Amino acid sequence: MPGRVLHRSPLPERPQIHMLSLPLEWELESTQVYFIEDDPLTLIDTGVKSRASLAALESALDELGYGVADIERVVLTHGHRDHFGLVETLRERGARLECWVHEADAPMVEDFESVVRARLGDALELFRESGATSDVLERIEDDRFHALDQNLAEGQSTRVDRALREGDRVEWKDFAVRVLHSPGHTPGHLLLEDEAAGLLFTGDQVMGQGVPRAETFYLNALPDPADACRRRPRFQGLVELRRSLRRLRGRSDKWLLPGFGGLVRRADRTVRDTILYYDVRLQRIDRGLRHLAAMDQEVTAFDLRTALFPPDESLEQTRVQLLLLIGALDCLEQDGLIVTRRRSDGVLAHRHR
């Protein structure tokens, strides 16, 4: 059941901000984007590329007296297809807009298909290295083309006109926000801080409901020569996410404006809850590894997945759980709690110190 799309001026502090809930065909049921009715007319994120999403955006803009061709700028919180998917469509519909995104996520937006292809291919190696069984690896391999199709159906490369960095300002005639680089969910996730009004746009880094997932993928085809296990360098999203969230502790924003789950009134509590969610999981894994080390045992990420989660989950669940555990092991290694070695079969095994 589609709910209301347009939430007109939900915040008295900045009546020019409108929240739009656009439908998704996967996962959560809608994504929140923000239309800033000021000069230049700006969207913060666009929603996924789909007929339903475009129709919802058109109807909300129409209610406000605009059309999609009037949009002059899109600022993206990050390079996921449910946030940038529609940009190219808006351009095709006549919008002469500028698209701004953090420099680290710009390749995902400008060259979506090749980035997705590379990451889907690399995921097999990542999971093999994590000890996934041949059955799971085969299923992931078989699913690769379906996953690619789904990505390409909902996202489309588009030109980036400005690559943003920490401290940059995004300005309108009547106000401005500051860019905070907040990696984790993606490498180039950014937050937009409106200090004067006490608002913070948080994308998927801090959400109204649920917790953000962190990306994990190889950065380079060659192994890191400084690493004793000869691992390929990776973007370690969960390590980054923890660091980014800790930087946000103690914030006194009146409102968070996330990509999911409504508007958030209690910024600090929501940030702390998200940190706690991951801390609890890390502690549980740490305890398990400590226990195994006492019995002189080491584990792979996939062993942990088998021990911690019920069997026969869907392939997508398996993938999500494995990525969470790979991220957790990254954090424990970063904290100096575990040591990792590469077994003769190439799989990485971890042991508590």
Question: What residues line the site for Zn ion (CB under 5 A)?
Answer: 80, 204
Q: Of the two residues 204 and 330, which places its CB atom closer to Zn ion in the complex?
A: 204
For residue 238, the minimal CB distance to Zn ion (Å) is: 15
Q: Which residues of 23-56 are buried (b: 16+ CB within 10 A; e: fewer)?
A: bbeeeeebbbbbbbbbeebbbbbbbbbbeebbeb
Rounded to 10°, the helix 267-294/237-248 angle is 140
Q: Of the two residues 26 and 287, which places its CB atom closer to Zn ion in the complex?
A: 26
Q: Of the two residues 206 and 329, which places its CB atom closer to Zn ion in the complex?
A: 206
Mode of pairing for the β-strands spanning 73-75 and 42-44: parallel
For residue 256, the minimal CB distance to Zn ion (Å) is: 15
Q: Of the two residues 185 and 352, which places its CB atom closer to Zn ion in the complex?
A: 185
For residue 77, the minimal CB distance to Zn ion (Å) is: 8
For residue 137, the minimal CB distance to Zn ion (Å) is: 26
For residue 188, the minimal CB distance to Zn ion (Å) is: 11
For residue 225, the minimal CB distance to Zn ion (Å) is: 33
Q: Of the two residues 45 and 194, which places its CB atom closer to Zn ion in the complex?
A: 45
Can you list the alpha helix ranges (DSSP code H) found in 130-259? 134-154, 237-248
CA–CA separation, 294 and 272 (whole Å): 32
Q: Of the two residues 50 and 300, which places its CB atom closer to Zn ion in the complex?
A: 50
Instruction: Give 318's Cβ-side CA count (13 Å radius).
Output: 22
For residue 24, the minimal CB distance to Zn ion (Å) is: 11
Q: Of the two residues 61 and 206, which places its CB atom closer to Zn ion in the complex?
A: 206
Instruction: Name which of 2, 59, 7 is nearest 34 in CA terms.
Output: 7
Q: Of the two residues 207 and 325, which places its CB atom closer to Zn ion in the complex?
A: 207
Burial of 225 (0-12, 13-18, 19+ CB in 10 A): exposed
3-state DSSP assignment of residue 53? helix
Cα–Cα distances (Å) from 188 to 23, 113, 270, in that order, read 24, 18, 21
Contact 348, 229 (CB under 8 A): yes
For residue 252, the minimal CB distance to Zn ion (Å) is: 25
Contact 236, 229 (CB under 8 A): no
Render 111-155 in DSSP notation, one character per residue.
SHHHHHHHHHHHHHHHHHHTT--HHHHHHHHHHHHHHHHHHHHH-
